[in-house]
Structure 1
Amino acid sequence: MMRRCLLILFLLFVFKATSQIGGRYTYQFLNLVSSPHQSALGGKYVTGFNADPSSALQNPATINELMDNQLAVNYVNYIADVNYGSVAYAKSFGAKNLMLHAGVTYINYGTFSGFDEVGNPTSDFGANEAAISFGYAYRIPNSDFYTGANLKFISSKLEQYTSIGGALDVGFMYHNETSKFDVGLAIRNAGTQFTTYDSVREDLPLAVDLGFAKTLENVPIRWNFTLENLQTWDIAFNNPNRDITDLEGNIDRDDPGFINNALRHVVLGLEFFPENNFTIRAGYNFRRSEELKIIDQRSFAGLSAGLSLKLGKFKFAYSYARYNNAAASSTFGINVNLL
């Protein structure tokens, strides 16, 4: 059975390995981060081996016994009238305490004014998308290695156009309780559309992320280092606003080099007091900084921060992510211990 799963995963990855990012696929909401924990650490966090069931939405291999009967509800006040969020829950079943996970991710794009082809107003319309996932993780016997998978059913409605699809997430995790060192690998959104919007089949936003994390000894700090979008190496692009024109009219085109492109795959995060009831978090996303910063202005694009507070069976979390001077997002979350 395991060999068959690995073979299916390999074939899916080969077929999708040429997938690009940034507007060339459908169901883009699948890669939005709705957890304040993940958002505060720069937007990518695949090493969350903890009691937060939201972590399994990013890496199903993180499903573990600490999540048993834990419920997480998250909400994001995004740009303009866009709102999205997630709900996640995990539960153990049977004599072997099998851990199963379920989650819902949704996005509402707000209300739009409709116009016909000559500009006459018509009726208003909306757009929304949702994904329901079911996950399971398995610990390899006598080891610190875990593997897991999420099966997702996706529904999308954009004005009168609708689409239904399915996707598979596969995750791998190394979690050493003694050294407090974690390594996580997540391959997400390998799937297809079952029905298309208008007879045109589109690719799903495949994402491959690799993360490393460690809690320092005798110091209440946990660092996170994540490499995102590994399915596509060249994610840098020319920005015409950064072209330089000399006095003779010669144009020196913006051309991001190897180092610039490599850094755009990097996301950094720090957690202070990670094992206490009160935690402070901060992150930096290099790609977000490079793509959204404004020339000759200090916008602090790419920075994010947040905190969490545990009170009894409730854990409250908040994060703030900076995009530029005109845009930022706040993420709110609450985890409830239902035991």
Structure 2
Amino acid sequence: MMRRIWLPALLLLAALPARGQPGDLTGFAFLRLEPSARAAALGGSYAAVYGDDTNALFYNPALLNEQMHGMLSLSYLNHLADLNAGFAAYSRHLDGLATFAAGLRFLSWGRLERADEQGQRLGTFGAGDVALTLGAARAYDDRLRYGASVHLVHSSVASYGATALAFDAGLLYYLPDQNLSLSASVHNLGATLSSLGSTRDDLPVDVRIGFTKRLRHLPLLLTLTGYNLHDLGDTPDDASALSNVMRFLTFGGEFQFSPAFNVRLGYNHRRHEDLKMSSRLDLAGFSLGAGLRITRVWVDYAFNSWSSLGGLHQFTVRTRL
């Protein structure tokens, strides 16, 4: 694919996160992309969803557990401007030691056409991002789990490159008799080892808390995640107090029609407020999706509305090897 784009526009679009603010210009912002279609359909509210999905490695390493032994997940995301992202995760449980997982994330821009401010063509170049993740978690007791992960991150634009080393750490408090879990985690702490320019980019640090409850008499999973909590003071002056609180929350629900079929809905208020068109009803920030199990394989789909910018389509395939 060949596209014509100015380099400043490329760098701006690269900073558009899936979960955070569209104008949040931190470095390595592709780390905010949703690696899981199930999580994307739930509005990114996945910080405390305990189960067998090895993509938990990217949302809170403390979620890694023995149910994920041998689980493989592969995901594809069609982002805005025909950008393509892929994700992979695999986990193994070692009795008496821990649950380990490895993950890969990449974002490809394809081949791009470079032009100066006068529109003169200067040739083509490539751009992309990749991150390798290793993580582990273990139980402290029958309710509390803790985990950590490390990410080696690299971004490239033409002949320029940037590298960073980042760390995540998390806790999970799980009450199986009540089908309830609570979590806290910090993401992307670390350092930039090299930069695209003379100024070192900051990593997209994120502090999250999560709550998940599976109802006892209804096949419904409810989940809430608070994110970017280290930036609670960074809110619009002209918004209501409730709206400002909502900007740090995402919500999701998953209804189980059968053991082999689920439907999901999610909502991200910050994305809705930042992208909505005031002249009409706007579904920006809303997401939906479904999961279907075919024998031993789960196939998940998610759609996220970005208002007039378009929508994101994502697919995930999960199975146990």
For normalisation by structure 1, the TM-score amounts to: 0.85
Q: Between Structure 1 and Structure 2, how many residues are aligned?
A: 301
1:305 aligned onto 2:288: yes
248, 256, 263: which one aligns with 1:280: 263
Per-residue CA deviation, residues 82-117 of structure 1 (Å, 9 max, x unaligned), is: 111210000123x52531110001111233211246
Q: Which amino acid aligns with 1:81?
A: D
In the alignment, which residue of structure 2 is the partner of 1:23?
A: 24
CA distance in 2, matches of 1:165, 1:275: 43
Q: Which amino acid aligns with 1:158?
A: V
In the alignment, which residue of structure 1 is the partner of 2:99?
A: 99
By how many angstroms is 1:326 displaced? 3.8
By how many angstroms is 1:199 displaced? 2.8
In the alignment, which residue of structure 2 is the partner of 1:182?
A: 181
Q: Which amino acid aligns with 2:127?
A: A
* Residues 188, 153 of structure 1: alpha-carbon distance in 2 compared, 3 angstrom cutoff: same
Aligned-partner SS, 1:29: helix
Per-residue CA deviation, residues 269-304 of structure 1 (Å, 9 max, x unaligned), is: 111018822111111111111111001211211111
Greater strand percent: which structure? 2
In the alignment, which residue of structure 1 is the partner of 2:69?
A: 68
Matches within 5 A, 1:149-298: 149-237=148-236, 255-273=238-256, 276-298=259-281
**Larger of the two Rg values belongs to structure:** 1
CA contact (8 A) 1:39 1:304 kept: yes
In the alignment, which residue of structure 2 is the partner of 1:12?
A: none
In the alignment, which residue of structure 2 is the partner of 1:15?
A: none
CA distance in 2, matches of 1:49, 1:271: 13
CA contact (8 A) 1:164 1:193 kept: yes
CA distance in 1, matches of 2:200, 2:56: 30
Aligned-partner SS, 1:124: strand
In the alignment, which residue of structure 2 is the partner of 1:16?
A: none
CA contact (8 A) 1:170 1:187 kept: yes
CA distance in 2, matches of 1:267, 1:91: 30
Aligned-partner SS, 1:260: helix
CA distance in 1, matches of 2:180, 2:93: 25
CA distance in 2, matches of 1:174, 1:186: 12
Q: Which amino acid aligns with 1:234?
A: G
* Residues 297, 201 of structure 1: alpha-carbon distance in 2 compared, 3 angstrom cutoff: same
CA distance in 1, matches of 2:246, 2:98: 39
CA distance in 1, matches of 2:242, 2:156: 40
In the alignment, which residue of structure 2 is the partner of 1:131?
A: 131
Per-residue CA deviation, residues 48-76 of structure 1 (Å, 9 max, x unaligned), is: 21111012211100000011000000011
Q: Which amino acid aligns with 1:285?
A: N
1:54 aligned onto 2:55: yes
In the alignment, which residue of structure 2 is the partner of 1:5?
A: none
CA distance in 1, matches of 2:24, 2:262: 35
Q: Which amino acid aligns with 1:171?
A: G
CA distance in 2, matches of 1:275, 1:187: 34
Aligned-partner SS, 2:259: coil
Q: Which amino acid aligns with 1:131?
A: A
CA contact (8 A) 2:185 2:209 kept: yes
In the alignment, which residue of structure 2 is the partner of 1:320?
A: 303
Aligned-partner SS, 2:283: coil
CA distance in 2, matches of 1:41, 1:257: 25
By how many angstroms is 1:138 displaced? 1.6
* Residues 117, 297 of structure 1: alpha-carbon distance in 2 compared, 3 angstrom cutoff: closer
CA contact (8 A) 1:72 1:336 kept: yes
Percent identical among aligned pairs is 29
CA contact (8 A) 1:268 1:283 kept: yes
CA contact (8 A) 1:44 1:228 kept: no
Aligned-partner SS, 1:289: helix
Q: Which amino acid aligns with 1:278?
A: F
CA contact (8 A) 1:234 1:261 kept: no
Q: Which amino acid aligns with 1:261?
A: N
